[in-house]
Amino acid sequence: MEIRILSHTPNPELIVALAARQSWSSKKVEDLKKELTPEKVSSFLRKLYKMHHLSPFEHANFTFLVEGISRVTSHQLVRHRIASYTQQSQRHVEVTEGKFVVPETIKNKSSTHSLYTKAVKSAVSIYKKLINEGVPLEDARYVLPSSVTTRIIFTMNARELLHFFKLRTCIAAQWEIRKVAEEMLKLVKEIAPNLFYYAGPPCVEGICPEKKFCELFKKYYKKKS
């Protein structure tokens, strides 16, 4: 699995703060911009979050490249509708052996790993035979398992990312997309720590919708000012 940020809104924290401030002020945008010191931006963004005034967060966009995830996870990813996606096409790119995700619960036991490997190799073998028989890629792919890896580029704004992180970094999320979300969160925090100060599972804010104290709750929970 490889995850990178390809591009993002320049000065995303300033842009969000400026958008919010101008909506409440008669001052010129240029004057408001001069007033917004890094310290003021930091405290203002946290205030906006606590007020649930999140529409200004939509002005900050982040474009990600995710490679090596399974189709199982990409199907979950594209369910987040307020985003733009471009995924590698199996209609035009032939799948090769070895490009499959193996869950740890299968990999950790030799008997299940052997069964899994056998099934995947069989599917790839049949896939290749279908292609050699003249079946187009778009039809031959029907025999492939959901564990086949894919590549996808997608863009989300900061508001949607906050929602995405709340759902997908929770212990209740499926393990692979949780790994994707955790790495994405790490990357955006390096760029805009104040935009994503409260980002993460609900337990970041001391809430546990699962009604239990899980390991993530212990890891993330802390009182924030």
CA 120 – CA 125 distance, rounded (Å): 9
- Specify the residue for token string 């002020």: 25
For the chain, the residue count is 225
Instruction: Check if the beta carbon of residue 73 is closer than 8 Å to that of residue 180.
Output: yes
- Residue 170 is encoded by which pair of tokens? 């929770």
Give residues with Cβ within 8 angstroms of 171, minimum separation 6. 178, 201, 210, 214, 215, 216, 217
Within the chain, where are the H helices? Answer: 12-22, 29-35, 38-50, 71-77, 104-107, 110-132, 137-140, 158-168, 175-191, 215-220
Closest alpha carbon to 148 in 72, 67, 64, 66: 72
Annotated catalytic sites, by residue? 168
